[in-house]
A and B are shown apart, each in its own frame.
Chain A
Amino acid sequence: MGVTDDQITHLEDKATQIREDIIKMLLEAGSGHSAGSLGTADIFTTLYFHVMKHDPKNPEWEERDRFVLSNGHICPVLYATLAEAGYFPVEELMTLRKLGSRLQGHPHRGSVPGLEASGGPLAQGISVAVGMAVAGRINGKKSRVYCMVGDGEMDEGQVWEAILFAGKNKLRNFTLIIDRNNIQIDGFTENVMPLEPLKDKLAAFGFHVIEVGGHDIRTLIEAFDEARDVFEKPTVLLAHTIPGKGVDFMEFKPEWHGKPPNKEEAKKALRELDELRTLGGKITCEHE
């Protein structure tokens, strides 16, 4: 099934919109995780606006595909995506991390429609997602379960318990996405706790492994299509992403893992994103 250039452009615009939302909500919140949220915006866009079968008007639809965010700290991107998809008003994004808000600092199942699992304490989400895939199989459903984990998160033993289990049970309805951005709080993953050779490890645990660039939407779509076509095992997308992607001064910087932009930085970031959207100012909707 081919994807047209127009469709890709539309999806790229959506990703930029989500990045703008992320900058604005993090500025307003005054705390939160910038790098991973921006770095995965293309993956979220691809999933929620092209790949996944879901219905924002009927969030409990039994046949829906499910997505679980295991690295819950990057929930700004999940909230922005859910809002842009129509699960709740976009304006509500500005309540992130505030008293009385539905948008908790880390995801809370039951808070907003479309949010499938609580998460934050790392590795919990992947087990929950695998549980959904097992239940889906027992229930005879055709729906798929997608789950994102961070690469630093893979230090946790529970991640490997879940991977071992999914491999054993040949959960072909389960697709794992590893946000391979190579950073974690104390620095680069290969210094903190080396994961390589990650591809070999995942294959050895019984997964079909697809290495993919995490920002090329067309390639991402192809990878998710391939995952759906693999019948004998679960698939993992080892998605190489740039932390802070889209905002030049944040890219590849571990220090942006867990902090929000200040007012000046947010202004600069939004200007950059706007240029991305308008192809360097070449496209404008303002009349002369």
Chain B
Amino acid sequence: MSKKLNQKLHLAKNIFTGPDQVPQRNGYGEGVVEAGKKNENVVVLCCDLTESTRSAEFVETFPERFVEMGISEQNMAGIAAGMAFSGKIPYISSYAVFSPGRNWDQTRVSICYSMANVKIMGAHAGISVGPDGATHQALEDIAITRCLPNMTVIVPCDYFEAKRAAIAISEINGPVYMRFGREKVPVITTEKTPFKIGRAETYTEGKDVAIIACGSLVYEALVAAEELAKDGVDCKVINSHTVKPIDRKTIIKAAEETGAVVTAEEHQVHGGLGSAVAEVLAQECPVPVEYVAVMDRFGESGQPDELMKKFGLSADGIKTAVKKVLKRKN
């Protein structure tokens, strides 16, 4: 491999040779059980989707601390808030299109306005949900949660990071939104990889362009950087798992050092990570920015890999964006 990974981060050794494939939601499922073991106040609520959201392991481990909600996402958000006001730490799980999609009003008032200690777990986020089609592909969830005061927004890149995040959020007081996808994605971090809410991690250093990604696009960014290195383009790759509060310092430093930025996420171009990065850079260090995201349109049915390719949410899409941004760079 031509790119040198940041040694301090203990990333997986097989990233470029054949990484393990595990869904991020498994990380949540195991992480919330760990959190539950650490703190008896952790409870889980789910809207008739315990298996696919991976809340099932918690249900088995702590049946008395699980609340079956039936298909009622609005009620779930409110009940979680009420439980939080009585000392509980509720994790509420459903598909991201429904929670925080359908229950946004409740998320805004019962949870955020009231500073309720509720953790919203949005499963099956992104276009990679595949054949279910546009109705079930959450591509706006980061935007609608990022705009809410008091909210923390986390998009883990893989299984281990989802697990670490699921535990870490039980230790901070306040509302959190965490999203994860349905599909197996490459495991690029390890148990030893540091994780701190609000701190972006620089995976590879580079001087020509900074690729700032979240979720499964972090892996694609690493692959793109590796391939671009062969063309003589030196990419810095940053995993910005916390979209809010965004790590301003790391983003500004990256823009200053490289003079060009590409963002990558499995979300609408408007309102997600790209917007968060652009908001920082417009104010602090204006440099050319290109976005890898869904370009203001709804998704469609198809196999996950077909869709990711069609919508350009891939290493190839990132490479194209990098070439474009480099042309704009003086």
A residues contacting B by CB (< 8 A) are 68, 108-110, 116-121, 123-136, 138-139, 157-158, 161-162, 164-165, 168
Contact = CB atoms under 8 A, between A and B. Distances in A.
A162 B80 CA distance: 12
The interface centre, meaning the residue of A117, A119, A129 with most chain B CB atoms within 10 A of its CB, is: A117
A161 B48 CA distance: 14
Report the 8 A-B pairs with minimum CB-CB distance, sorted nearest first.
A131-B82, A127-B78, A135-B86, A131-B79, A161-B75, A128-B82, A161-B72, A109-B114
B113 interface: yes
B116 to A, nearest CB: 8
Interface string B84-123: 1111100000000000000001100110011100000000
A118 B113 contact: yes
Contacts of B64: 138
B65 interface: yes
Contacts of A139: 86-87
Interface in B56-74: 64-65, 67, 69-70, 72, 74
Contacts of A138: 43, 64-65, 88
A164 B83 contact: no
B318 interface: no
B78 A162 contact: yes
Contact of B86 (A132, A157, A168): A132
B302 to A, nearest CB: 33
Contacts of B72: 158, 161, 164-165
B109 A118 contact: yes
A117 B81 contact: yes
Nearest to A147: B82
Contacts of B110: 117-118, 124, 127-128
Nearest to A136: B86
The interface centre, meaning the residue of B65, B78, B85 with most chain A CB atoms within 10 A of its CB, is: B78
20 contacts: A68-B82, A109-B113, A109-B114, A116-B85, A117-B85, A117-B110, A118-B110, A124-B105, A124-B109, A124-B110, A128-B85, A128-B110, A130-B82, A131-B78, A131-B80, A132-B85, A134-B67, A138-B88, A164-B72, A165-B69
Nearest to B69: A165
